[in-house]
Amino acid sequence: MLAAEAGAARNTLLAYRADLEAARKALGGPVSSASVEALKSLGEQWSDLAASTVARRSAALRRFYGFLFDEGFRSDDPSSTLPRPKLSRPLPRILDPDEVERMLEGAAEKAQGERPVALRNLALLELLYGSGLRASELVSLPRRGVRPGSPFLILAGKGGKERLVPVSDRAHAAIAAWDAVHPGGKWLFPGGKAHLSRVRLFQIVRAMAADVGIAPDRVSPHVLRHAFATHLLSGGADLRTLQALLGHSDIATTQIYTHVDASRLVELVNARHPLARRGD
Active site residues: 134, 158, 222, 225, 248, 257
Closest to 82 (Cα-Cα) out of 99, 70, 64, 107: 64
Burial pattern 24-46, b for ≥16 Cβ within 10 A else e, equals eebbeeebeebeeebbeebeeeb
User: Quick one: residue 183, left, alpha or beta (phi over 0 = left, psi -120 to 50 = alpha)?
Assistant: alpha
Q: How far apart are CA 256 and CA 146, in angstroms?
A: 29
Query: 127: Cβ–Cβ under 8 A, 6 or more apart, which residues?
Result: 133, 138, 141, 146, 167, 171, 174, 175
